[in-house]
Structures are given as structure tokens and as C-alpha cells.
Chains A and B, each alone.
Chain A
Amino acid sequence: MKGSIAAGLKLAISGVLFSLLLTAGVNAEALRIGSAVEPKSMDPQLTALGSDLGYYRHVYNALVEADESLRPQPGLAESWTVIDDTTYEFKLREGVRFHDGSAFDAEDVLYSFERLPTVPDGDGLTAAKLKSVSEIEVIDPHLIRIHTSTPDSGVLRALGQFFILPKELGEVATEDFNSGDAVIGTGPFKFDEWRRGDFLRFSRNPDYWGEAPQFDDVEFKMLSNSASRVAALRAGDVDLIDYVPPLDALRIKQDSDLNLFTIPAGRTILLLLDAKRDMTPHVFDKAGNPLKENPFKDKRVREAISKSIDRNLIVDKVMDGLAAPASQPMPVGFGGYADDLKVPESDVEAARALMAEAGYPEGFKMTLNCTSGRYINDTEVCQAIAQMVSRIGIEANVDALPPSAYFPEYKNAAFSAYILGWGNSSGDASSILTSVGHSADKTSGRGSWNHHYESAELDALIEQGLGTVDDEKREALYADAMRKIMEDVAMIPLHAQLVLVATQKNLEYRPTANEWTLAQNVSLAE
């Protein structure tokens, strides 16, 4: 009796295993992407989170679109001219159809613009970026003029996240987008299905006006757990994954069955020091008593700290070589990049001398506030910094908090020495200069992330740049602002993160600096 049960069990188990081996076939026309971040919704006007925008770019187009270096290129607008300081004229592309067959024209631009600020529960970010737009004038179905109330150089780039919806939608709510009914755009893909937390599927738009994508179907599988995401690629369950953890990236580089693609991302990691207040909370003498003055107010101390940090070493050892040491708070190639600035060299001797000159030959104690799990290896980077500044006598205690706890404290100006990773999604210096470079100003809303530094000179440069519509002139001003920041040690940039994408051997990918994972950038390897 016992024998036959055992035999029966063995037979059953082998039967099950055998049938499992006959795994489901893989569709060669479908691209499977393992995504780290899921879209919050399919309403392109609800939020402007960078992770969401990438998804919208598959089914929608904007008037202008960012290339790999985030420079504006023609999208639904074939060309544009700057008429004057407050007027842009856009020539709209003809013969473009939405997925439902309706034709694209100026009325659609107008409709999309009118809906933008009205989306309930939206973050209103895109609307805010286009705040200066006072009117969109329709000259003819394929020619419009955008008028701004004040000269605003950021408008052009801001249009890159302003996706065009068909006016035929009429009154439509975010739910209609999330269910897929209202997701109708002009993009290279059509919306297929979205199961939240599970997958998002698009299928090829055969009537696309631009370059046709190489795949019939794209399925984004939501794999937020990085270990599982990498395992899925290894197992062949997906063809491409984004946000590859650096340690795995190294191994993937060496793996002949997989490819790794990188590009410096817009995100730069900065060390900020409170140079504004007379007394700052987190600095102590060696005995643990709070210091009466704020050492960071002295530029020599800031410079000493910057000099004591070996950025190359951090990139090599903490980031496994997968980051680009920063010479300024913005990556190479972005609008306003100052080519003449070099990555600050580590010079411990000079740093010690500066500390002594400033009156701190023995150094002091401080708390270094850090995020945990927000940026790649953030806590480890902070620990490396703490070690490095110890060489000039500064005893740094790293206090790491998860983002949900860190940022509220940040906003309350609770920190003295702290970390920030800035995303620069505009593709030029305007974003960081506005929010972190410019001093805090409630009326204009500028400097909302700046609690640590104030300079009228820098403010003037920034304001001038923001109001300069001419590209060349504006970027020259931004470059000046960059130089001023580095000279005055208003911020201490460390490195720019890399976009890390891995694929199966037979695929190639063109990454973009805004960290968007785009199926249209995937091609079969030669």
C-alpha cells in the first residue's frame, strides 16, 4: 500500500514538472520591459513626475520634444520662430492623425491647454511651468502663436511635457484615462491595457507620422523590487530593464548574454551647507556643545570641505564607476553648462590649511543629514563624505532618513549639512537655478529648495537669464551663474548619476538623460 502511494506521487510530480518545462512561447514581435517605477495614472495632465512622463511619450506627442541631451526638437510643431520677447510662433505638422482617426490641428492644442489647469487633484506642475503663457492665438489650423505675459525663456522646454490631447475628448476625467478609454494621442504607440501593479501594454500605431518603432507590442512589467527585476532579465522573462542597481550593472557589463547602456542622467547629487543663518543647529565643538557661530558661513570652511572630498574615489568605490564626477550642479551638455569648469581636485593639505585659516585648526563636530533609498547608494555616499572630512578634523555623524521623513524636515530648514539630488528635467540650468540657486522668495515662488544660501549677485544673474529669450545669450548667463556658484561654494556638487539600462544580447537602447524608458529607443542589434 505504501509502495503504490509513493510510486503514484513520483509519477504525478514528474508529470507536473514535465508540463512546466513546456513553457509558454515568447512572442518575438513583443518587447517586454521590466520597469522600476509605475505610472501614477494615464492622465498626462495629472502629474509631471519624471517617471510618468516617459510613459506618456509612447502614446502622446508634444509640440517640442527633448532629444538625448534634452534639447528641444520638433514634435507636433514642425518649426518655430521667436517673433519677439513675448511671442513664439509655431508651425504645426500637417497630416497627423490621432489614434481614433481624427485630424490634429490648432484646436487640439487650445483644448489641451485649457484643460491643463483644471485637472482635479493634479499637481499642476506643467500648468505652473506654463504660467507665463497668457494666450494661445490660433492663426490658422496649422499655425499658432503663444503669447507670454513676461519674457519667459523656460516656455519652450516646458512645452516638452505638455502633451496634446484631441479636442474630441471633451469633458473627461482622470478615471477615463486610467481605464484607457480616453487615452488617445498621436504617438508611436496606442494604448492597449493597464493592470495597475502588474503591467501596462501598448501596441504599435501603424499610422504614426514619425519614425515607426521596431516592435508591434510593448509590455511594461512593473517590477519595483530591483533584485527581482535583475533576476527577470537574467531568466529571460523580460528583454530590457531600467534603473539597474550599480552592483548588478557591473556584473551585467561582464555578462556576454546581456548588454548595458548608460548616459549621464540629469540628476546631480549635491552637498549643501547652511551658509545663511548665524547659528546653525547641527554643528558642535569636539566636546559636544553647540557652536556659537556657524562655520559654514565662512567660504574657506566650505571650500575646505569641498577640497577634502575625493569625487573620483566616491565614483570608483561607492558608485562602482557608474557615475560622472561633477564640475558643477548640472551634467555635461545641458543648456548653460560652463565648459571651463573642472571637477574640483581633492587636496587634503590645502583643505587643512583653509580650516586653520578660518579658525578651526582642530575642526568640529557636525551631523550630516542624508536620505536613505532615494538616490543610488545615497547613504553610502554620505558615509564616504563623513570619512573624507574626518581628515580635516571634522567629525561627521551621518543621520539617514527615508524620503517621507527627510523631505519634510528639509522643508523646515532643519538641517545644516545635507544632501540633495536634483533632477534638472528641463535639460538646462533653469530648473536648478530657479529652485536651489535663487534665494527663497515667496512671491515669485523661486528658491523653494534653497534654505542655505543667499547672494544678490547670483539672484540677478538668474533672473536675467530666465527672462532672456535668446538661447545663446541666456546660456551664457547661466554659465556665469554656474561659475559664481562654484566660486562661492554655494553648493558642493559631487557626481551626476548615470542612467543604467540593461537588455538581452540581441537588443540595443538609446538612453535619454531624463531617465525616461522609451520603447521607441529600443532597436534590434546589428
Chain B
Amino acid sequence: MIFAITRRSFQALITLLILSLLAFTAVYAIGDPILLLIDAQASSLEQEALRTRLGLDQPMPVQYLYFLQNLMSGDFGRSFVSGEPALRLILERLPATLELAFVALLIATVVGVPLGMIAGLNAGSRFDRVVSVFSVLGFSVPSFWIGIILILVFSVQLGVLPSFGRGDTATLFGIASSLWTFDGWRHILLPATNLALFPMALLIRLARAGASEAVRLDFIKFARAKGVTTRRIIFVHLLKYISISLVTILGMQLGLLIAFAIVTESVFSWPGTGKLIIDAMNSLDRPVIVAYLLIVGCIFVIANTVTDLLYIVLDPRIRSGGGNDPR
């Protein structure tokens, strides 16, 4: 177990190093950030001066080495745009994105898994067909459009939910979050729902497939033969059995949600890292872009590792090394 963790951490480190190199090179190759940072009316002298000041006049490999060197001391560089440390900019905004991703995943699970399971248990019924169509829509309709529609319906027409922004935060157990306040929940509901649609569609399909397959298995028949209630069969036997594959997906989805909440954050002006990265990309703010990619890369790695560990916890067969009877 320890060995597995060490090995995985080493692999992760290599991945992150390659990622930093790719990100660095790609941003360098795109264009010259100076013209986006400085007012157009600056003369070429002023532009050269800024270039030198930001170290952009050095050749790329030199810049990259400086970058790595600073990385060792925890310095991800300073934003070309605001001058603030890139790491701090990202860490400031990360809690908001984590909140959003977490609530979105919650909604996706709480709504998607039961829907999918019931659809799978009633395969071929009208309910099943409706749910299947709905899940396809969740994949294919652009999240940007759905976000605007949600705002139009709930904020403009009905006026019950705010159209943008994050709610008030409160601190509990040393963690400041808008989830501790009622106002926070009012604000997070629409964007989290918007973000939840894609993973929800995924979970519905998985739960449906898992349920319709698992319900034919012998142990379900045996449970029925014992006279166990249908409710318990679904929520204990079936759910626990298919949760393994669901958890794997959920783990991956968490990383994806954090990384790609960009569209939702943009539509709802949610002050998270998604909006930060878009602005950084528009102004070629390389330190912020690279720092973002590295941090999100880390989050992915952590999410995947935790998923693997959860897998072990949930599937007792893996825990004791597979059992003594061949399957």
C-alpha cells in the first residue's frame, strides 16, 4: 500500500513536470503579452522597458529555468497583469470553485443516481425512455445556453434567485465558505445546477446500466427469496454494488468540474478560478496560466488517488486481495 502510494506520487510528479513544460511552451508560442498589458498608446520605448522589467526579453529556455528555480521555493511568479503572486491569485479563487464543483457533484449524484437506478430497474418503460432522452440532452445541449435560460427563468422572469455572484460567506471550523449561509445557497443553486448537468447525465446512464445489469444477478434473486423489501434491495444491495463504478466516475468528474467550471463561472460571474484562467488566457498572463495548470493538475492527481483509495474501501474483494475462491 505504501509502495503503491509512493509510486503513484512519483508518476504524478513526472506528469506535472511535463505539464509545466507544455504549458510554458504553448503560451510562449502564442504571442507577445506586452501589447495586451500596456495601453495601446504607449510608445515602443515604454513597451521595451516593460518587456525587460518582466524578463520577457530572455530566451525561452532561460525563462523556463528561472521558472523552475522559483517553483522550488514556492514562487509561481507574478501575474503580468496585476503584479500579484500567481499562486496567491489562484488560491484566493480556488475555494469558490471548489464549492461550486462540490455542490454540482452533490446535485448530480443525488438526482442522477436514483433516476438512473429507477430507469434501469424499469428498463423499456416510459419513465426509462424519458430519463434516457433527458440524459442525452445533458451531454449535448451547450451549458452556456442552459445557464442563460436558467437565469432568464429564475432571475428575470420569476425573480426568486439572484442572477450572478457568490453569496455571503461565514466561517465554520476555520473554513470560510458561502455554503454556511442561506444567502450562499441562494447564489450557488443555479450555477451548481448548470454545472451538474453533464456529470448528472453521465451518472444517470451509468446507474441505469449498472442497475439493469445487476438486477439480473443471483444475489438479487436470493435477497428477494429471503423476503427482503424492494426498497432495501434497491438502496442497500443494488446501490452498494454499483457504487463502485459510480465512485470511479465521480472521482474523475470532480477534477473535470474544477478545471472546467469556466463556462458556468463566466455566465454566472462566479468568482472562481475558471474566470481567472479565461482572463489570463486573453491577456497571455503566462505565470497565472502555468500556475493554474499545475495546481489543477495537482487536484486531478489527488482526486484520482482518492478515488482509487475509495475504490479499495468500497469493494471488499480488493481489500483482502481478491478472496480465496476464483471468480
Contact = CB atoms under 8 A, between A and B. Distances in A.
B81 A40 contact: yes
Contacts, number: 168
A446 B271 contact: no
A480 to B, nearest CB: 22
A381 to B, nearest CB: 18
A196 B164 contact: no
Contact of A237 (B42, B49, B162, B272): B162
Interface string B163-181: 1111000000000000000
A404 B283 contact: yes
Interface residues of B, number: 60
Interface stretch (A45-53, A102-110, A142-150, A333-341): A45-53
A517 to B, nearest CB: 16
Contact of B156 (A231, A402, A445): A231
Contacts of B281: 404
B218 interface: no
A10 to B, nearest CB: 16
Q: Which of A40, A422, A423 gathers most chain B CB within 10 Å?
A: A40
A47 B38 CA distance: 7
Nearest to A403: B36
A503 interface: no
Contact of A423 (B41, B53, B271): B41
A195 B49 CA distance: 31
Given A123-B37, A221-B269, A448 B162 contact: no
Interface in B120-179: 148, 151-152, 155-156, 159-166
Contacts of A223: 164, 269
Given A195-B271, A228-B267, A442-B44, A407 B49 contact: no
A197 B81 CA distance: 14
Nearest to B145: A227
A411 B34 CA distance: 11
A197 B93 contact: yes
Interface string B18-57: 0000000000001111011111111111110110011000
Nearest to B85: A175
A232 B164 contact: yes
Given A20-B161, A40-B81, A198-B166, A125 B46 contact: yes
Nearest to A449: B40
A358 interface: no
Contact of B41 (A23, A237, A431): A431
Interface string B271-299: 11001100101111000000000000000
Nearest to A373: B282
Contact of A404 (B36, B45, B89): B36
Contacts of B53: 120-121
B231 interface: yes
Q: Give the one of B31, B50, B152, B186 with max A CB within 10 A.
A: B31
B35 A411 contact: yes
A360 interface: no
A19 B160 CA distance: 9
Nearest to B38: A123
A124 B50 contact: yes
B268 A228 contact: yes
A214 interface: no
A79 interface: no
Given A198-B271, A404-B30, A425-B39, 10 more contacts: A20-B160, A123-B38, A128-B43, A195-B271, A225-B266, A228-B151, A231-B163, A404-B284, A405-B31, A425-B41
Closest 7 CB pairs of A and B: A445-B43, A198-B271, A197-B271, A235-B155, A407-B35, A121-B83, A408-B32
13 contacts: A20-B161, A23-B162, A41-B83, A124-B42, A125-B42, A197-B275, A222-B269, A224-B269, A225-B269, A232-B164, A235-B162, A404-B30, A411-B35
